[in-house]
Structure 1
Amino acid sequence: MTAESTTSAGSADPLSNASAALTTLRSYRAQNLKDYNIMVEYKMLKEEAPRGVYLLPAQDSLRMYYGVIFIEAGLYRGAVFRFRVELPRNYPANDALPSVTFVSRVFHPYVNPTSGDLSLRSGFPLWRTPNHTLTSVLEFTKRIFYLQDYNVEDATNIQAAQLWARNRNSFLTRVEGSVSLSIEKRFVNDTEATIRFSDHAPHHDMIRTEILRRGARRGARGTSASETTASVPASEENKGANNDASDEHASNHRPSPIPFPAEAETSDA
């Protein structure tokens, strides 16, 4: 073995090292841009989230969210359904469709009876940024409980779809059972959930009074008229409250999402 070959074997090529470092830097930068856009979307939920739908991020991840939806009318009226939203690692890139999974047992043609997964493809055949956002997902999730008819081809719960088409009374009975169970288990909190309910206690009245007081003051300034916390008493007042999906104070100036450079999109390919 020659001295030249020994040197080559004993040390890495500087050009290879530089190329690897550049690739890592681009990947890191691309991921940071994606994370920033997620934070912007979440902040925008403060004003854009549909009424009666609450969402909070997991304590250790920007891409996992815990939500609850209060159904105010229709066949599912009175239901308190818990769910999770998970964002793919390449979100918000095109085709990076989020996933929605109900933790509560939901009897619905579009909710898988085994996994609790909600089929989003019927609402978003092609997921396109920036037209589709977290707000779009929450709006679709709420909308399925107010439908007056269902497309059997989109059903993931075939039994529910068949009962709707052939035996409406049995369908309604199963829906009522789903609603009742959600109310019965409203105080059962998952260990990792960031939205947690507790039974009514005297100190909740003090918190509610303070929230209303701050809301009136903020409303007078022309800003958001209510605030929410991660622990929410499950009372009738909550169902009629103006929705705030973020636990942060609203800002008069919101940052704009940053468009991804070409290398940011290709780095995760």
Structure 2
Amino acid sequence: MAATSPSLLPVSPMASEEEREQALRDYKVTIEYKHLKSHAPGGVFLIPGMDNLRQFYGVIFIRRGPYSNGIFKFQLKLPPKYNAENQHPVLTFSAYVFSPYVDETTGILDIKNAYPKWDPTRHYLVTVLTYLKKIFYTKSFVDAKANDAAKELATKDPVAFRKKIEACVRESQKNMYSNDPGSTAKFTEEEVSHSVLRDLLKHHVKDESKVTKQAVLAQIEKARKV
């Protein structure tokens, strides 16, 4: 969550009331994002787009449970009047996610079912990310409405349900290096020099507290020559 939040342009003294209200909404978005740096749920990362204050790219790493080792990328879009009542964010997964809480056709997380009335005094970006994480660890799908087939399978045939999840996890790993156009949360495949550098550091760096900058640079130079 160390990414810098988008900057805001100053509001002209001649701006209309509507423009001033929009500028205030924009400012609140940046405040919410800064809040995420210390309050985002573990394993969830969100980075703002380069050109759009209301476009974010993220990824969640699942560490335990049925979806363990899953790497699920997503986009989070905020409506123009976000920070007003019932202006729900839209979170869309970049690849297929088999879950009773995710629409099978669109890949959209069913936020509206969890929060029928979006209240800007109680609900924030961290609310969305917390709910996002929750759906991967929950053991009950009583309240799920996005994918009835997945919900029914979880109840009637848990073994088949688990197999579908495992296939979904494998697919997420396989697509790890597939990046959405314009995404700021990009994954790139490791080059040979990177693996060589890692091995060199493991071999030569025995005590991290005693390593000098020059020693590390020397290993980097060796890796470059590969």
Please say whether Structure 1 and Structure 2 have the same fold, judged by a TM-score greater than 0.5: yes
SS of equivalent residue, structure 1 residue 154: coil
Greater CA deviation, 60-69 or 196-205? 196-205
**Counterpart in the other structure of 1:59:** 50
* Partner residue of 1:184 out of 174, 177, 180: 174
**Counterpart in the other structure of 1:160:** 150
Aligned counterparts, 1:92-241, within 5 A: 92-151=83-142, 154-201=144-191, 202-203=193-194
Could you tell me whether the CA contact under 8 Å between 2:113 and 2:145 is conserved in 1?
no
**Letter of the structure 1 residue corresponding to residue 169 of structure 2:** V
Aligned counterparts, 1:24-43, within 5 A: 25-43=16-34
Deviation of 1:131 after TM superposition, in Å, equals: 1.3
CA distance in 1: counterparts of 2:65 and 2:133, whole angstroms: 12
Greater CA deviation, 172-181 or 182-191? 182-191
Deviation of 1:203 after TM superposition, in Å, equals: 4.6
Q: Is 1:87 the counterpart of 2:87 in the alignment?
A: no
CA distance in 1: counterparts of 2:14 and 2:86, whole angstroms: 23
CA distance in 2: counterparts of 1:197 and 1:144, whole angstroms: 24
Deviation of 1:189 after TM superposition, in Å, equals: 1.3
Deviation of 1:30 after TM superposition, in Å, equals: 0.6
SS of equivalent residue, structure 1 residue 34: helix
CA distance in 1: counterparts of 2:28 and 2:167, whole angstroms: 40
Query: Percent identity among equivalent residues?
Result: 35
Deviation of 1:125 after TM superposition, in Å, equals: 2.2
CA distance in 2: counterparts of 1:203 and 1:102, whole angstroms: 29
Deviation of 1:123 after TM superposition, in Å, equals: 2.1
* Partner residue of 2:64 out of 73, 87, 90: 73
Q: What do you get for the CA RMSD once the two structures are aligned? A: 2.0
Q: What 5-or-longer segments of structure 2 have no aligned partner?
A: 1-12, 202-207, 209-226
TM-score (norm 1): 0.65
Aligned residues: 186
Deviation of 1:24 after TM superposition, in Å, equals: 6.0
Q: What 5-or-longer segments of structure 1 have no aligned partner?
A: 1-21, 210-215, 217-269
For residues 153-192 of structure 1, the C-alpha deviation after alignment (integer angstroms, 9 at most, x for no partner) is: 5321111111011111111111000000000110111221
CA distance in 2: counterparts of 1:141 and 1:104, whole angstroms: 15
For residues 5-59 of structure 1, the C-alpha deviation after alignment (integer angstroms, 9 at most, x for no partner) is: xxxxxxxxxxxxxxxxx99610111110000000111111110111110111111
Q: Which has the higher contact order (CA 8 A, sep 6+)?
A: 1
